[in-house]
Amino acid sequence: MVYTVTLNPALDLSAPAAPASGGAARYGQGDFIAGGKGINVSLLLTSLGVENCALGFLGGFTGQEVERQLAAQGCKTDFLPLPAGCTRINLKLLGGDGGVTELNGDGPEIPLPFLEKLEEKCAALGPGDGLVLAGSVPPSLPRDIYVRLLGQAAEKGVLTAVDASGEALKAVLCRRPFLIKPNLQELEELFQVEIATVSQAAEYAGMLREMGVQNVVVSMGEKGALLADSTGRRLFCRAAQGEAVSAVGAGDSLVAGFLYGWSLHGTGEGALRWGVAAGCATAFTAGIAQGDMVKKLYPLVGNPYPL
């Protein structure tokens, strides 16, 4: 069983919008969609037929709507209901060129006893389980929360993946996660550099792997993604060609696709190719892609090749 953790879930309001230079701005009729990086991973894993359970915290009427939507899509959940506050609403304004303007809110305060309950759930995992920690950390939680949730998971045989940025990502390297997935900008921020080529990105991904991570996948948008794997190899996989609708959730889908591909093939090549197919599928559709679309795109993604 794969368990995904979303510490700061959201109800995303996605709507088409025209650019505005000032004054009143308007956006079109939108849709409320359950969001959060771990939740997105769970949605796609469910659609691909991978048994999983979404964990985290939900609050108020917005939290109830998040849980309702996940149940309607067949996702198993075990969220902790908060005693006060509401799950945040994020506004995502979709431009005609595929770009997205995001206004993301802060999450509700999470009392210490609820955090301890989540830690207990993660500590109970064992061999054969997977643990995905993804997304931002609410202001009310300690900065080392991901390190605490990982605990001794790797030593217990739990397959762990982290999709975070900045200090939260740096902090987990000591736990030797199976997978981390920075995007290109996050990789640049980690090393305080500008990266102009795939080869340069591969060099820095290799440095992260040498710090203890088993597999580092760097998502590079329409170019594709690269992998520095546990054997020291560096592979690149080109994205499939298609019309971008929205990049929202594409990186989360890459994580889900990578884990799915690993379960099928047990190889970096297979995992990376499925990951890129999943990321492309979501980029080419509104919302998180369905598993059938990922499988349709998989043959259109090129075989990974060494750098």
Catalytic residue set = 252
How far apart are the C-alpha atoms of 93 and 277, rounded to whole Å?
Answer: 25
Angstrom distance (rounded) from CA 59 to CA 169? 26
| 30 vs 47: which has the higher pLDDT | 47
Q: Name the percent of the chain lying above pLDDT 90.
A: 78
pLDDT higher than threshold 90 for residue 120: yes
Q: What is the mean predicted confidence (pLDDT) over 26-37?
A: 83
Out of 80-94, 174-188, 249-263, 279-293, least confident range: 80-94
Residue 248 pLDDT > 70: yes
pLDDT tier, 286 (very low <50, low <70, confident <90, very high otherwise): confident
Structural domains in the chain, sorted by start = 2-16+31-306 (3.40.1190.20)
Strand partners, 56: 6
pLDDT of residue 274: 98
**Quick one: pLDDT band at residue 277, thresholds 50, 70, 90?**
very high
Maximum mean pLDDT: which of 92-96, 107-111, 238-242, 254-258: 254-258
Check residue 93 and give its pLDDT: 78
Q: For tokens 């304004």, name the residue.
A: 93
Say what the pLDDT of residue 150 is. 95
User: Is the per-residue pLDDT at 15 higher than 90?
Assistant: no
Would you say residue 255 has pLDDT above 80?
yes
What is the pTM assigned to this prediction?
A: 0.92
Choice between 199 and 106, residue whose per-residue pLDDT is larger:
199
Band of residue 19 on the pLDDT scale cut at 50, 70, 90 = low
How do residues 123-148 score in pLDDT, each as one tens digit? Answer: 999 999 999 999 989 888 998 999 99
Task: State residue 21's pLDDT score.
Answer: 59
The predicted structure's pLDDT at residue 25: 67
Predicted pLDDT at 46: 98
User: Of the ranges 11-15, 46-50, 116-120, which one carries the lowest mean pLDDT score?
Assistant: 11-15
Contact 266, 306 (CB under 8 A): no
Q: How confident is the model at residue 20 (pLDDT cuts 50, 70, 90)?
A: low
Nearest CA to 254 among 305, 181, 185, 204?
A: 181
Give the amino acid at 211. Answer: M
Neighbour tally for 165: CB within 10 Å: 16
Residue 16 has pLDDT above 90, yes or no: no
